[in-house]
Chain A
Amino acid sequence: KAGVTQTPRYLIKTRGQQVTLSCSPISGHRSVSWYQQTPGQGLQFLFEYFSETQRNKGNFPGRFSGRQFSNSRSEMNVSTLELGDSALYLCASSLVGVEAFFGQGTRLTVV
């Protein structure tokens, strides 16, 4: 059974640009959550999607958005990038919303 796949693994962007990250959950998992991990703030919850609907949202500005497709694949978008957006972005999928399976993450560097 394939795990959670995140693409790309690494990304370098310039301030002001926008970026889209992709996450393919484990087959059959309908819940996909996104987290931002930085050394200073640790793991911060961004949002959760379930059956194409955003079910929960963390405390992040509107520059951070996401969506989920009918095949449960999810994307998150960050517009008008800031230096502080440099982080490891982790996607997790779950079957019943308790045990989460994480992808390897996308390392975003904003310069």
Chain B
Amino acid sequence: SQQGEEDPQALSIQEGENATMNCSYKTSINNLQWYRQNSGRGLVHLILIRSNEREKHSGRLRVTLDTSKKSSSLLITASRAADTASYFCATDGLPSGGSYIPTFGRGTSLIVHP
């Protein structure tokens, strides 16, 4: 079962606009990660935020984490057509066998129109 759930499921914007995606999760986490997936291809790691961090930036990406609400958001500023992809949040789930297995949500499909 999914630990993280992204919202909205789909987002369509114009180039230059900002895109905000949200992720909610159910249990306590150590880390939360965001990934991007271009159509039918592998996932690309975007950013990791630890449970003791509230905000993190990487280029045009801004991630926030609110552990009290068990939610995270990914903001892409000044979006480009090349940002068109699906975006997934992954929480570290429960420890098992000495490791944490990232558990993925169903993703937000972002379309950026040129």
Q: Is the CB of A97 within 8 A of B44?
A: no
Verify if A56 is at the interface (C-beta below 8 Å from B): yes
Smallest Cβ-Cβ distance to B48: which chain A residue: A99
User: A48–B44 Cα gap in the complex (Å)?
Assistant: 19
Pick from B42, B101, B106: contact of A48, CB below 8 A.
B101
Tally A residues with Cβ within 8 Å of B. 25
- Using C-beta atoms within 8 Å of the partner chain, give the interface range for chain B: 20 to 34
Smallest Cβ-Cβ distance to A35: which chain B residue: B104
Pick from B2, B31, B88, B105: contact of A98, CB below 8 A.
B31
Q: Is the CB of A100 within 8 A of B102?
A: yes
Verify if A21 is at the interface (C-beta below 8 Å from B): no
Known: A50-B99, A102-B44. A42 touches B31 (CB 8 A): no
Verify if B22 is at the interface (C-beta below 8 Å from A): no
Verify if A33 is at the interface (C-beta below 8 Å from B): yes
Verify if A104 is at the interface (C-beta below 8 Å from B): yes
Q: Is the CB of A104 within 8 A of B41?
A: yes
Smallest Cβ-Cβ distance to B96: which chain A residue: A56
Per-position binary interface string of chain A over residues 53-72, scored 1 when its CB falls under 8 Å from any chain B CB and 0 otherwise = 00110000000000000000
Chain A to chain B: the 8 pairs with minimum beta-carbon distance, closest first: A102-B42, A55-B97, A43-B104, A42-B106, A97-B99, A102-B43, A104-B42, A56-B97
Chain A residues close to B by CB (< 8 Å): 4, 6, 31, 33, 35, 42-43, 45, 48, 50, 55-56, 88, 90, 92, 97-105, 107
Additional A-B contact list (10), CB under 8 Å, known A55-B96, A101-B45: A31-B99, A33-B101, A48-B101, A50-B97, A56-B96, A88-B40, A97-B99, A102-B44, A103-B42, A107-B40
User: Can you name 16 A-B residue pairings with CB atoms under 8 Å?
Assistant: A33-B101, A42-B2, A42-B107, A43-B88, A48-B101, A55-B96, A55-B97, A55-B98, A56-B101, A90-B42, A92-B43, A98-B31, A102-B44, A102-B45, A103-B42, A105-B42
